[in-house]
Amino acid sequence: MNQDIQGRNEVLRLHGEMTIYRAGELAQQVLSALRQQPLPHIDLSEVTEFDTAGMQILLLAHRFAAASEMRLAIVNPSECVREVLTLCNLTHLIDAQAELAS
């Protein structure tokens, strides 16, 4: 997992599996990004596997951002992420605008 700095936006790029095996570690990273950054971007283009645990983290992050009126952008979902989100009717989590911007 890398934390890239791209322009003004700090992008948290998640790599590899986003599953139960790494859920604890990933949740920590996502949540600390949320706490520290004003405009967090989570880039999912390098995610190779995505399960319920992964989806749960996105849902939690999304809800936290909404509650604290912060703008969270989940961008560039990889194929497997998109498949799950489509199946679950959760494609609204993806920020298409920010995707274009970044």
Partner 1 sequence: MNVDSALPTFVSESRELLREMEAALLACEQGNGDSEAINAIFRAAHTIKGSSGLFGLEAIVAFTHVVESVLDRVRAQTLQLDRELAAVLLECRDHMENLIGSVASNGDARSQELDTIGARLLERLAAVSGGTGTAAVTASKAPADIARRNVETWQISVRFHADVLRNGMDPLSFIRYLATLGSITALRVIDADLPEIDRFDAESCYLGFEIGLSTDADQQKIEAAFEFVRDDCTLRIAPQSQPTAVVPKQSEPKQSQSVSPQREGKQREGKAAKEAKGADNRSIRVDGDKLDHLIDLIGELVTAGATTTIAARKAGLSELNESTLRLARLVEEVRDQALKLRMVQIGPTFSRFQRIVRDVAREIGKEIRLEISGAETELDKTLIESIADPLTHLVRNAIDHGIETADVRRGRGKDAQGVLRLNACHDSGSVVIEVADDGGGLKRERIIAKAIERGLIADGSSLTDSQAYALIFEPGFSTADQVTNLSGRGVGMDVVKRNVAALRGTVELESREGQGATVRIRLPLTLAIIDGFLVGVGNACFVIPLELVEECVELGEEGRSIDEECRYINLRGAVLPFIRLRDLFAVQGPKARRESIVVIRCAGKRIGIVVDDLLGELQTVIKPLSRLFSRLRGIGGSTVLGTGQLALILDVPSLLEQTLSTRAPGISAQPMAEAATEHGPAS
Binding site for partner 1 (CB under 8 A): 20-21, 23-24, 26-27, 31, 34, 51-53, 55-57, 59-60, 63-64, 84, 87-90
Structure-block tokens of residue 67 = 């509650």
As measured in angstroms, the least distance from the Cβ of 68 to partner 1 is: 10
1 vs 101 by CB, closer to partner 1: 1
2 vs 21 by CB, closer to partner 1: 21
Q: Is 22 exposed, middle or buried (0-12, 13-18, 19+ CB in 10 A)?
A: middle
6 vs 63 by CB, closer to partner 1: 63
Cβ 102 vs Cβ 94: under 8 Å: no
As measured in angstroms, the least distance from the Cβ of 26 to partner 1 is: 7
Which strands sit side by side in the sheet containing 41-50, from one edge to the other? 2-6, 9-18, 41-50, 73-75
* Amino acid letter, 87: L
Three-state secondary-structure class, residue 22: helix
As measured in angstroms, the least distance from the Cβ of 77 to partner 1 is: 15
As measured in angstroms, the least distance from the Cβ of 51 to partner 1 is: 5
